[in-house]
């Protein structure tokens, strides 16, 4: 709804061509690009396509400047800063969004679902990686919580795309052992980054935001791929298996919603975790982690609930059959009319 209102207000159009004052230009750009980011988050969470994509608007990105460089009534466009500013975080997020669109086009141009060599897309990824590092990330100070989060989002997005362009070989069961291990390492990198974000106590005030981006940039794929890999006992060494389970335990500790949610995806991932644990638990004699115990309990409750529903449905069907097959008593017929 907000995006549609913004479009009706003309925020998606190039403001400079409309002859608006510099302050209005920058504020409208900031508002519009924030809306496109929220639209991206919402579309990912709902698993639907975005209602607005880069090809449908010509509004330029806001300048990389601090808030005190713009004010109502100003007559000259401010000079863009080279370095980290109060806009860096938002600009990096919008860059990531545009990057995903560029990679999508590149994948289509090589017929992504059929191409045999994912290295055809790698130049696009490497170009975007160099650009974002050179223009934004190299100026970030990771001591600053917001700069740390900015760096994490940019680099995780790049890793997530590298992971996704390799996934077709896993789905088609054509991946070699070397490629499987490469995918596993990319997945671990994303999961480790998520753990590092939760370990950074200064980011607590951004908790709502970091939870959103866990599900946005490749973490679901990473989590599922690690669990799928663990189900096969011949892929990882005992040490790698133990380390992977420790990572997964940390993920479930950080993301309680994985155990609390009743979403189909969360339930399916929980079942996959149980299958992986039963097939390939840690080599060392460690007790069953709390998240596995909880998943077992939830699974049992779910099965009992489904069994109860089936019994209830059967009883209802039996009652319905008896009602429809029992003869009508002539002595009671027409009682309602008398």
Sequence-separated (6 or more) residues with CB below 8 Å from residue 337: none
Q: Do 101 and 124 form a contact (C-beta atoms < 8 A)?
A: no
pLDDT, residue 137, reads 94
> What is the pLDDT, as a whole number, of residue 322?
59
SS3 at position 282 = coil
Interatomic CA distance for residues 308 and 314, integer angstroms: 10
Whether 212 has a pLDDT exceeding 70, the answer reads no
Report the length, in residues, of the chain: 338
Is the CB of residue 132 less than 8 Å from the CB of residue 91?
no
Taking alpha carbons only, the member of 87, 83, 53, 84 closest to residue 70 is 87
C-alpha 143/C-alpha 84 separation (Å) is: 13
pLDDT score of 253 more than 50: yes
Nearest to 152 by CA among 227, 208, 209, 104: 209
The pLDDT assigned to 262 comes to 82
Residue 196 CB contacts under 8 Å (≥ 6 apart), including other chains: 152
In the predicted model, is pLDDT for residue 24 greater than 80? Answer: yes
Q: How high is the pLDDT of residue 140? A: 94
**Residue 46 scores a pLDDT above 90:** no
Q: Which residue, among 93, 333, 83, 50, has the nearest Cα to 206 in the 3D structure?
A: 93
Spell out the alpha helix ranges (H) of 144-232: 145-164, 167-171, 177-199, 207-216, 219-230
pTM of the complete model: 0.79
Looking at residue 203, its pLDDT comes to 84
Q: Which of 56-70, 114-128, 171-185, 234-248 has the lowest mean pLDDT?
A: 114-128
Point out the least confidently predicted range of 121-130, 180-189, 270-279: 121-130
Distance from C-alpha of 207 to C-alpha of 236, rounded to nearest angstrom = 33
pLDDT in tens, 145-154: 989 989 988 9
Q: Is the pLDDT of residue 254 over 80?
A: yes
| C-alpha span between 182 and 159 (Å, rounded) | 12
Q: Other C-beta atoms within 10 Å of 172: how many?
A: 9
Give the model confidence (pLDDT) of 272-322 as tens digits: 999 999 999 998 777 889 999 999 999 888 777 665 555 555 555 556 555
């Amino acid at each position: 709804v907000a995006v549609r209102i913004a479009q009706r207000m003309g925020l998606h159009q190039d403001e400079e061509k409309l002859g608006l004052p510099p302050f209005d230009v920058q504020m409208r750009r900031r508002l519009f690009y924030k809306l496109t980011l929220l639209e991206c988050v919402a579309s990912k969470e709902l698993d639907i396509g975005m209602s607005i994509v880069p090809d449908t608007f010509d509004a330029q990105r806001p300048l990389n400047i601090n808030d005190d460089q713009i004010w109502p009534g100003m007559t000259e466009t401010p000079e863009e800063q080279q370095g980290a500013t109060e806009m860096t975080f938002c600009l990096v997020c919008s860059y990531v969004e545009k990057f995903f669109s560029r990679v999508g086009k590149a994948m289509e141009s090589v017929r992504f679902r059929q191409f045999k060599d994912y290295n055809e897309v790698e130049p696009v990824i490497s170009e975007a990686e160099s650009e974002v590092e050179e223009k934004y990330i190299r100026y970030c100070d990771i001591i600053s919580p917001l700069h740390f989060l900015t760096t994490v989002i940019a680099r995780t997005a790049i890793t997530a795309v590298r992971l996704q362009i390799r996934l077709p070989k896993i789905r088609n069961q054509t991946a070699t052992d070397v490629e499987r291990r490469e995918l596993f390492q990319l997945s671990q990198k994303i999961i480790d980054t998520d753990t590092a974000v939760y370990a950074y106590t200064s980011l607590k005030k951004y908790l709502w935001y970091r939870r959103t981006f866990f599900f946005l940039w490749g973490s679901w794929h990473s989590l599922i791929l690690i669990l799928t890999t663990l189900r096969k006992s011949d892929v990882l060494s005992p040490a790698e298996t133990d380390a992977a389970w420790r990572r997964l335990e940390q993920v479930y500790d950080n993301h309680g919603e994985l155990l609390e949610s009743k979403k189909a995806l969360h339930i399916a991932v929980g079942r996959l975790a149980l299958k992986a644990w039963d097939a390939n638990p840690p080599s060392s004699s460690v007790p069953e982690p709390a998240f596995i115990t909880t998943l077992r309990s939830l699974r049992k409750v779910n099965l009992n609930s489904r069994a109860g529903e089936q019994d209830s449905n059967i009883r209802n069907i039996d009652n319905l059959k008896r009602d429809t097959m029992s003869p009508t008593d002539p002595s009671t017929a027409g009682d309602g009319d008398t």
